């Protein structure tokens, strides 16, 4: 008998441990599902046990007397009771405090703190301010900061409308508790670290922030920034519920909500920040749950914000795309699918891009210090410091934040009219975002254009099809370059001439030394090739320009030029070339995007991967355009200075061309890539 009692108690202890361990990691919904399934299984065994008790034997577990079966019966009843008790504790905890981690549940169980009212008793005498849908409960010494937050709500609401498309419906009011120090904060949030400046509880719609971590220089912006971050969680919470998504960690990945919250904070306060070394293997987009997120280092907030900023900047500054992705998710049922559909990139590729981009600047004091100074000038209604603003604009351009640069430049143009530097940067940034008409207007405002101004104007007019104006400006650019007696310019030109003529030069190394002169040389080519302009676009002249763009790996520009030719001349080889260039530049309107993928791999140093991709297409019997693959393989072997390999693929390519294609065209195109190929064939 004692043996039976011992094993029954041992079984109950083991089962209880498994139930407790499971519920540490289950929220209320999953916990309830687990309860229902477990009770159904226990009920089935309970019925079997009753039948066995009546019959005096239980064949399922080979028990042949009622005493043994009664211990099974007792085990099932006790297990059911333990299950109900543990489920109710888990449910009560999360109903009271919101979604909790395993660590947080253990803390509350150990300290027996179930009543939130008891925890908040020390703030019952705090002053209260109610403003619209927000109730502020604050320590008397934080009143100034509370007023700062209230005065910033209009700015926050404007940003809210840009991100969510409209004001989010405040279906539930928000309570904001403002504490005096981290000690009080940790008393209410014992599972947080002291470095955490605030918290948001979705269950009771409550934000907590505290004052102690304010620096003397930036007292308001840090606390305000923390509020904006937590308030963004509140907006995100309401919006996701309104459109029918269950929230972070379930339907919506944690990095996305945290990134938007940091992005909104950054847009309102622009705080000073330092950033350490970024781990290149960090996959912040794989941190789906709160537990995974908090376990990672603090750089994940920064990376997530940069990811959100990248999404906005690459959608022409349209912040509404952030909520459009969530809205589309309600139709597709998948965040990843909607993200790819609206941004054109995968979540995995975004992670790689951001970690790589940020890693290059991980030890640099970021833009926020300059932005903070500019914002302070704006708030004080004084003219922004021109030199600081121009330094910030150069940083924006370095980070491809062209829309932010244009916004600041337009402000500078109002405060510093007729400034040539402002005109230059406005022309340049509009050029980079393909706003060609505006770029032309700003460049034309410069009273004494330099060689570079003429160069950009020549290219802009060419891209718009105005060959006459392009020719005129190309000539002016060349004349301006010839007047420049700078020794460095002369050295660049000498190196470039050597690149074109000297057989002993390594094309790759010489090219890297002469890049700075390359644009001037291109203008010279424009002038030379357009000299005999007679009112019609000469395909060969434009094609020569496209060839030069291909040499510079500017495949987007080359594609644009070739498409100009195809408007009037639709020869098979030109259509094929445009298709190849579209594939290389990944424009998305080509069936040959695999070529672009091969080029990306090659340029990233993954040559074997590039060659394997192309050779795979050659082995694919269903793939018809083998000549495209052969020409691409020829080009890559030329870049590797592989004379034998490039000759093999060139000869195979030329033999495979059908009668529809002109071999002389492809011979000219091949020789245009580099003279070393032609010379190598002659020597061989």
What letters, b where the CB count within 10 A reaches 16 and e where it falls short, cover 163-179? bbeeebeeeeebbbbbb
Residues 6+ apart with CB under 8 A from 553: 603
Q: Is the pLDDT of residue 457 over 80?
A: yes
Mean pLDDT, rounded, of the chain: 71
Strands 128-131 and 174-179, how do they pair?
unpaired
Domain map (residue ranges) of the chain: 2-111, 122-243, 246-366, 568-683
3-state secondary structure of 177: strand
H runs (alpha helix) in 502-657: 507-513, 515-529, 539-551, 555-566, 572-584, 593-603, 607-619, 626-639, 643-656
In the CATH scheme, what is the code of domain 246-366? 1.10.390
Q: How far apart, in whole angstroms, are the C-alpha atoms of residue 682 and residue 634?
A: 17
Would you state the pLDDT for residue 492? 47
Residues 237, 204: Cα–Cα separation, whole Å: 11
pLDDT at site 403: 86
The pLDDT value given to residue 231: 93
Tens digit of pLDDT for each residue in 380-413?
A: 666 777 767 777 787 777 667 788 889 889 988 9
For 326-365, how does the pLDDT look when each residue is reduced to its tens digit (9 = 90+)?
888 888 888 888 888 888 888 888 877 777 666 544 433 4
Q: How confident is the model at residue 158 (pLDDT cuts 50, 70, 90)?
A: confident
Give 539 or 664, the one with higher predicted confidence: 539
Show the tokens assigned to 422: 């402002």
| pLDDT winner (highest mean) among 70-74, 335-339, 509-513, 532-536 | 335-339
Question: Whose CA is closest to 175, among 204, 215, 140?
Answer: 204
Express each pLDDT in 236-267 by its tens digit: 989 888 888 765 545 788 888 888 998 898 88
Q: What is the CATH number of domain 122-243?
A: 3.40.30.160
How many Å apart are CA 571 and CA 581, to the nearest integer? Answer: 16
Which residue has 């309970």 as its token pair? 46
Quick check: pTM over 0.85? no
The one-character DSSP state at 197 is -
DSSP 8-class letter at 199: E
The answer to whether 399 and 382 are in contact (CB under 8 A) is: no
Name the range with the highest mean pLDDT among 232-236, 525-529, 580-584, 663-667: 232-236
Two structure tokens written together for 481: 């370059």
- Of 67 and 146, the structure prediction assigns the larger pLDDT to 146
pLDDT for 554 = 66
Neighbours of 265 (CB within 10 A): 25
Cα 561–chain centre separation: 31
Written as six digits, the tokens of 519 are 């644009």
DSSP 385: P
What percent of the chain has a predicted confidence (pLDDT) above 90?
5
Q: How many CA atoms lie within 13 A of 256 on its CB side?
A: 24
Task: Say if CB 477 and CB 454 are below 8 A apart.
Answer: yes
pLDDT single digits (tens) 586-625 = 544 445 567 767 777 777 778 888 888 888 888 887 777 7
Token couple for 456: 């950009």
Tokens 């409209």 sit at which residue? 166
431 or 317: which carries more pLDDT confidence? 431
Q: What are phi and psi of 208, to 5 degrees?
A: -125, 130
> Six-digit token pair at 257?
């909500």
How do strand 134-138 and strand 174-179 relate by DSSP bridges?
A: parallel
Better-predicted residue by pLDDT, 489 or 377: 377
Cα distances (angstroms) measured from residue 90 to each of 36, 187, 246, 303:
15, 21, 20, 34
Rounded to the nearest 10 degrees, the angle between the axes of helix 626-639 and helix 643-656 is 160
- Does the pLDDT at position 441 exceed 90? yes
Nearest Cα to Cα of residue 628 among 586, 656, 663, 662: 656
Query: How sure is the predictor about 371, in pLDDT bands with cuts at 50, 70 and 90?
Result: low
Distance CA 21, CA 83 (A): 12
- pLDDT by residue (tens digit) across 555-593? 676 777 777 777 766 666 677 777 777 766 554 444 556
Residue 50 CB neighbour total at 10 angstroms: 13
Task: Return all residues near 321 (Cβ < 8 A) that are at least 6 apart.
Answer: 311, 312, 315, 342, 343
Q: Do domains 122-243 and 246-366 have the same CATH topology?
A: no
Query: What 3-state class would DSSP assign to 111?
Result: helix
**Structure confidence at residue 514 (pLDDT):** 37
For 533-555, what is the mean pLDDT?
60
Q: 145: how many CB neighbours lie within 10 A of its CB?
A: 23
Give the phi and the psi of residue 222 in degrees, each rounded to 5: -65, -50
| Measured distance CA(385)–CA(274) in Å, rounded | 23
Do residues 402 and 432 make contact, with C-beta atoms less than 8 angstroms apart?
yes
Give bridge partners of residue 478 from the DSSP assignment.
none
């Amino acid at each position: 008998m004692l043996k039976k009692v011992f094993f029954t108690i041992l079984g109950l202890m083991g089962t209880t441990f498994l139930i407790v361990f499971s519920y540490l990691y289950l929220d209320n919904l999953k916990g309830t599902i687990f309860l229902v399934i477990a009770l159904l299984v226990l009920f089935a065994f309970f019925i079997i046990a009753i039948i066995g008790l009546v019959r005096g034997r239980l064949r399922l577990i080979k028990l042949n007397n009622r005493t043994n079966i009664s211990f099974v019966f007792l085990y099932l009843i006790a297990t059911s009771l333990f299950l109900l008790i543990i489920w109710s504790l888990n449910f009560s905890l999360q109903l009271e405090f919101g979604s909790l981690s395993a660590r947080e549940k253990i803390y509350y169980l150990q300290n027996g703190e179930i009543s939130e009212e008891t925890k908040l008793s020390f703030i019952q005498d705090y002053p209260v301010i109610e403003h619209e849908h927000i109730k502020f409960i604050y320590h008397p010494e934080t009143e100034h900061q509370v007023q700062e937050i209230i005065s910033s709500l209009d700015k926050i609401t404007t940003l809210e409308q840009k991100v969510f498309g409209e004001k989010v419906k405040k279906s539930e009011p928000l309570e904001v508790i403002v504490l005096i120090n981290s000690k009080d904060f940790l008393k209410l949030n014992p599972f947080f670290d002291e470095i955490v400046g605030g918290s948001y509880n979705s269950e009771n719609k409550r934000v907590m922030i505290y004052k102690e971590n304010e620096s003397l220089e930036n007292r308001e912006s840090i606390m305000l920034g923390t509020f904006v971050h937590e308030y963004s969680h509140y907006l995100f919470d309401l919006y996701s519920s309104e459109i029918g998504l269950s929230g972070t960690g379930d339907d919506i990945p944690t990095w996305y909500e945290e990134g938007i919250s940091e992005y909104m904070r950054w847009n309102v306060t622009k705080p000073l920040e330092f950033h350490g070394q970024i781990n290149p293997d960090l996959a912040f987009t794989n941190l789906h749950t709160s537990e995974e997120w908090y376990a990672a280092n603090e750089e994940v907030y920064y990376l997530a914000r940069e990811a959100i900023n990248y999404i906005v900047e690459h959608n022409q500054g349209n912040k509404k795309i952030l909520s459009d992705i969530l809205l589309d998710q309600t139709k597709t049922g998948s965040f990843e699918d909607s993200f790819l559909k609206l941004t054109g990139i995968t979540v995995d590729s975004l992670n790689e891009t951001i970690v790589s981009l940020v890693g290059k600047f991980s030890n640099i004091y970021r833009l926020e210090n300059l932005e903070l100074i500019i914002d302070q000038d704006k708030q004080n209604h004084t003219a922004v410091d021109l030199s600081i603003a121009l330094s910030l604009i150069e940083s924006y351009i370095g980070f491809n934040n062209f829309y932010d640069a244009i916004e600041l430049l337009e402000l500078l143009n109002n405060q510093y009219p007729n400034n040539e530097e402002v005109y230059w940067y406005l022309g340049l940034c509009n050029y980079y975002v393909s706003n060609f008409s505006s770029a032309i207007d700003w460049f034309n405002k410069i009273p004494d254009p330099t060689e570079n101004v003429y160069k950009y104007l020549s290219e802009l007019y060419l891209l718009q099809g105005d060959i006459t104006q392009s020719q005129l400006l190309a000539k002016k650019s060349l004349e301006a370059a010839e007047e420049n007696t700078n020794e460095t310019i002369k050295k660049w030109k000498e190196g470039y001439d050597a690149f074109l003529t000297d057989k002993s030069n390594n094309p790759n190394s010489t090219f890297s030394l002469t890049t700075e002169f390359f644009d001037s040389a291109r203008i010279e080519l424009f002038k030379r090739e357009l000299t005999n302009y007679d009112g019609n676009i000469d395909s060969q002249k434009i094609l020569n320009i496209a060839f030069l763009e291909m040499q510079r790996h500017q495949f987007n520009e080359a594609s644009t030029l070739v498409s100009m030719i195809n408007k009037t001349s639709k020869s098979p080889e030109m259509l094929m070339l445009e298709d190849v260039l579209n594939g290389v530049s990944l424009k998305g309107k080509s069936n040959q995007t695999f070529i672009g993928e091969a080029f990306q791999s090659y340029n990233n140093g993954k040559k074997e991967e590039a060659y394997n991709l192309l050779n795979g297409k050659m082995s694919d019997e269903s793939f018809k355009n083998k000549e495209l693959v052969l020409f691409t393989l020829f080009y890559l072997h030329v870049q590797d200075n592989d004379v034998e390999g490039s000759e093999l693929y060139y000869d195979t390519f030329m033999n495979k061309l059908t009668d529809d294609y002109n071999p002389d065209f492809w011979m000219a195109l091949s020789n245009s890539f580099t003279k070393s190929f032609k010379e190598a064939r002659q020597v061989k």
